[in-house]
Amino acid sequence: MSQATDTATAAPLPRDPARSGKQALRWFETMIWHDHEVCSECFSRLKRSDIAERDGWGHEDEMSWRTDTACLGEDLVEPPATVANCAPKPEAKTTCLECGSVRGLSQNETLSSSEAIDRVPALAARLQEAGYHVRTDVVYHVVEHLKGQEAHTADDKRIFAVAAALGVQR
């Protein structure tokens, strides 16, 4: 049950996240979106990790475990196209109990404004865990504002990235 992983910690934020959208997006992707311990769909914490053992040579073993918001579910793996008449094979995967996301991956559907706003408390909690002071009111305001803009409403990841970058204080 051990696995070696790199856990995200407080990374430097771009000087002006509002003007450096690509940097804010990369920062958000590193801190939240690609963190295997966080659900990319609803930002719930799926796993926790801790160093289990460190030897005299500096090698570390890390143990990971599922949180109360995750369970072991099944994902259907499609057989290769070269195999005829074969049903998809079920494979055990961590599943988010909050939103049903398998492996904590974001779904392709665009969130409604109310669904996006409902995800702000979990997003703020993940940012606080990473060591940031979060102005939750700013995150709420930015998500609500950008979900109301026709040009941005379909890009949930960018909306959350901008909201997170503007909502944290150094």
Quick check: is 4 in a domain? no
Q: What is the C-alpha separation between 26 and 160, in angstroms, rounded? A: 12
Residue 140 domain boundaries? 21-49+60-169
Task: Report pTM.
Answer: 0.70
Q: pLDDT band at 7, cuts 50/70/90? A: very low
- Structure tokens given for 14: 């771009």
Quick check: is 6 in a domain? no
Count of domains in the chain? 1
The 10 Å Cβ neighbour count of residue 95 is 20
The region that residue 72 occupies, defined by phi over 0 for left and psi between -120 and 50 for alpha, beta otherwise, is beta
pLDDT over 80 at 169, yes or no: no
pLDDT in tens, 107-151: 778 889 999 999 999 999 999 988 889 999 999 999 999 998 888
